[in-house]
Chains A and B, each alone.
Chain A
Amino acid sequence: MQPIYISDPAWQVTLPHRTVPLTDEWLPGLLLRCDEANDWVSGALVRYLLRAMHSTLSDLNLITPSLTFLEHFAQTLSIPISTVVETTYQPELARLSGVTYPIVRLDFLLKFCPKCIAQQRLLRRTLALPNIYCCTLHHLKLQSWCPCSQKLHFFSPKARPFTCPTCGLDWRLLPQDEATEQDITHDHRLLSYYMYFFSEATPHLLFSVQDLIGEMIRKRSWATTRNPYLLKFSGDRFRKRRVSLGLLVSALLDLYISVDDIRIYVKNNPESPSTGFQPKRHAPQAHRSG
């Protein structure tokens, strides 16, 4: 990437110190690294970007932020918007939803690998995926609480980036606990579902999987007793609601439905479902909480 010279009008709108996204980096991590590179408090940049949009932090969806936000962010780094979009799951979820602005949800909890933070200040994009417990690279348990009992937040205005707002402990110094084999296996299975959904992403696939889950629940009535949340998948009502991909993947896991099972089902039911679910097409919106 080219340097920006002072004669360039971009000088005035770019950060004092530019930052480029790392491979597989998630948006909040990039925002925090920008704060750190420029000696700002945690969340200074995200608040600056949102203020320009007359928005607030509570309106920001870190997995599928608005295109306006991403454009503004790309401008402050002077990099192509596509590079910033890659720090989200916006394209994957949009393809899965069949509309520009994704209606399929990912509901994340803040958690991260202390070793990734120590090595590169990196928050991997996979951290946005629900129910992942360990780092795919270091096989360490993901952390979301400080030893001082403070729940960690991405953007705490009183803290330096990547530190606890209460005791100031750097996230890289959080306990590096080895993950169990069971957790690693669990995460591998979950990731295989997510990767399958993201690579094959179509609305048809999403509906087929819901149908498959519905069929399996009918066949395995014990499942709903053990996992009451599966009841949400019975009937057509679920399709009319916004789907949580995390919930869908958990259901697949709990019902022992493998990716191969899904492939076979989709192959055998090419024209299947999508009845009763016609997502309304709408243009990208400035903000939408997810």
Chain B
Amino acid sequence: MTNSKSDEGRPPFVVQKDFIVTAFEERFQGFLQSAWQQRTWHVITAIPGSGKSWGIRDLVLHSGARKEATGETYLPLLTICTPMSESEQALGTTFSAVFGAPVTMPWYIRRTWLVKRMAGVHVECLIIDDAHFLSLYHLTYIKELTDNLAALPYQRQVGLCLVTAHSGDVIPLKKEYFDRPETLWRQFRRRMDTEHPFRVVPGHSEQEVRRILATFEELYRSQLPDLHLQRWAKSIYTWLTYQTLDPDATNRVTMDHLTRFVTGSLRRAYEQGMTDVDEKILETMASLMLFRRDDFPPDEPLSPRGIN
């Protein structure tokens, strides 16, 4: 399992950052694509660290967004992260920044400019990440913006995905806004999808973890030629669904935890000159994540005595 001869001249361990289309991403992107195609409105939620932002980024990269030299621009998916400022102006400016060169203009002009430009670049769906931070002003502005797009002369119906992170059984935005009886929220609710207004995207089951481990094996094959992670799938799943890492008892594994666990273990094995991980390294890593997780620096090389 070790190859001490070549250890001395080994280059540093390289973390692979390729996007992996996991089962979670398939579910999550499936919901987004459905909203995009059907032009429906949803709150899509998953626990933090599931890979929502990565999934959005990947979808946007493959959405066909482009600026032609002739002046035609296509931006079917307009994606932003919720600004921390609660004003509608902040949200409008964040939307505008996606278009490119941020020319300054008064807010009253930008307000109409944005509607015109969204129609002009063929926006079909708005995706707002970290939507649990949306304020009353933000939501009011989103309604106004989409209403203006739907009205004459544009008549452009757009999908809307408010992507949130949640914990426990509480779906963000639902209770504090959409379930309220005021007219605004009734109007908002009416625009949301009838069948699935709120979608919860679960993390990875044990079988799905096994498939991801198989992908990791391929990704790190060049650095750890004898890597065989799948045999540890059950143990890894069990560790990563302990209460400290799965406080809501979902019995699902997040991609963030799994990636941290695997890359940390592989780095440690690599730096010890090994060509595969062993039980000891995995247990050490599990201890680090389960019992000292706040001290665990995910991207730093770990000392072999790190847990002592």
A and B physically associate = yes
Taking A11-B100, A17-B71, A78-B67 as given, write out 5 further A-B residue pairs in contact, using a Cβ cutoff of 8 Å, ordered by the A residue number.
A6-B63, A17-B121, A20-B71, A38-B117, A79-B69
| A/B pair count, beta carbons within 8 Å | 77
Which of A4, A37, A44 contacts B66 (CB under 8 A)? A4
B73 contacts the other chain (CB 8 A) = yes
Q: How far, in whole Å, are A14 and B65 apart by their CA atoms in the complex? A: 14
Known contacts A6-B61, A13-B100; A20 and B69 CB within 8 A of each other: yes
A222 contacts the other chain (CB 8 A) = no
Q: Which residue of B lies closest to A20 (CB)?
A: B69
Report B91-120 residues with CB < 8 Å from chain A CB. Answer: 97, 99-101, 103-105, 109, 113, 116-117, 120
Q: How far, in whole Å, are A7 and B75 apart by their CA atoms in the complex? A: 12
B233 contacts the other chain (CB 8 A) = no
Chain B interface: which size bin?
20 to 34
A45 contacts the other chain (CB 8 A) = yes
Over the window 11-50 of chain A, the binary record of Cβ atoms lying under 8 Å from chain B Cβ atoms (1 yes, 0 no) is 1111111111000000000000000011111001100100
Which of B71, B101, B116 contacts A13 (CB under 8 A)? B101
Which of A3, A5, A14, A41 contacts B100 (CB under 8 A)? A14
Q: How far, in whole Å, are A48 and B105 apart by their CA atoms in the complex? A: 10
Q: How far, in whole Å, are A135 and B109 apart by their CA atoms in the complex? A: 36
Contact across chains for A76 and B101 when beta carbons are under 8 A apart: yes
Chain A contacts of B121 at CB under 8 A?
16-17
A1 contacts the other chain (CB 8 A) = yes
Which residues on A are within 8 Å of B, measured CB to CB? 1-7, 11-20, 37-41, 44-45, 48, 51, 76, 78-79
Listed from nearest, the 9 A-B pairs whose CB atoms lie closest are A1-B69, A16-B99, A6-B65, A3-B66, A4-B67, A48-B103, A17-B71, A14-B100, A3-B68
Minimum C-beta distance from B60 to chain A (A): 6
Q: Which residue of B lies closest to A3 (CB)?
A: B66
Q: How far, in whole Å, are A270 and B239 apart by their CA atoms in the complex? A: 91
- 28 example contacts (A-B, Cβ-Cβ < 8 A) are as follows A3-B68, A3-B69, A4-B67, A5-B65, A6-B63, A6-B65, A7-B61, A11-B100, A12-B97, A12-B100, A16-B73, A17-B67, A17-B71, A17-B121, A18-B67, A18-B68, A37-B71, A39-B116, A39-B117, A40-B103, A40-B105, A44-B105, A45-B101, A48-B101, A51-B104, A76-B101, A78-B69, A79-B69
Chain A contacts of B183 at CB under 8 A?
none
Chain B contacts of A11 at CB under 8 A?
67, 100
B70 contacts the other chain (CB 8 A) = yes
Chain B contacts of A1 at CB under 8 A?
69
Chain B contacts of A4 at CB under 8 A?
66-67
Q: How far, in whole Å, are A54 and B48 apart by their CA atoms in the complex? A: 42
Minimum C-beta distance from A276 to chain B (A): 47
Chain A contacts of B101 at CB under 8 A?
12-16, 45, 48, 76
Q: How far, in whole Å, are A5 and B66 apart by their CA atoms in the complex? A: 4
Chain A contacts of B65 at CB under 8 A?
5-6
Contact across chains for B69 and A45 when beta carbons are under 8 A apart: no
Q: How far, in whole Å, are A44 and B105 apart by their CA atoms in the complex? A: 8
Over the window 120-163 of chain B, the binary record of Cβ atoms lying under 8 Å from chain A Cβ atoms (1 yes, 0 no) is 11000000000000000000000000000000000000000000
Minimum C-beta distance from B148 to chain A (A): 15
Contact across chains for A6 and B103 when beta carbons are under 8 A apart: no
Chain A contacts of B105 at CB under 8 A?
40-41, 44
Chain B contacts of A13 at CB under 8 A?
100-101
Chain A contacts of B75 at CB under 8 A?
6
Q: Which residue of B lies closest to A51 (CB)?
A: B104
Minimum C-beta distance from A72 to chain B (A): 10
Q: How far, in whole Å, are A48 and B60 apart by their CA atoms in the complex? A: 28
Known contacts A16-B101, A44-B105, A45-B103; A39 and B69 CB within 8 A of each other: no
Minimum C-beta distance from A153 to chain B (A): 19
Chain A contacts of B100 at CB under 8 A?
11-16
Q: How far, in whole Å, are A13 and B120 apart by their CA atoms in the complex? A: 19
Contact across chains for B66 and A48 when beta carbons are under 8 A apart: no
Minimum C-beta distance from A4 to chain B (A): 4
Contact across chains for B73 and A17 when beta carbons are under 8 A apart: yes
Q: How far, in whole Å, are A5 and B69 apart by their CA atoms in the complex? A: 11
Q: Which residue of A lies closest to B106 (CB)?
A: A41
Contact across chains for A17 and B69 when beta carbons are under 8 A apart: no
Chain B contacts of A48 at CB under 8 A?
101, 103-104
Contact across chains for A17 and B66 when beta carbons are under 8 A apart: no
Minimum C-beta distance from A81 to chain B (A): 16
Q: How far, in whole Å, are A4 and B67 apart by their CA atoms in the complex? A: 5
Which of B67, B68, B72, B103 contacts A44 (CB under 8 A)? B103
B66, B97, B109 interface centre (most CB from chain A within 10 Å): B66
Chain A contacts of B71 at CB under 8 A?
17-20, 37
Contact across chains for B70 and A20 when beta carbons are under 8 A apart: yes
Minimum C-beta distance from B284 to chain A (A): 38
Contact across chains for B116 and A14 when beta carbons are under 8 A apart: no
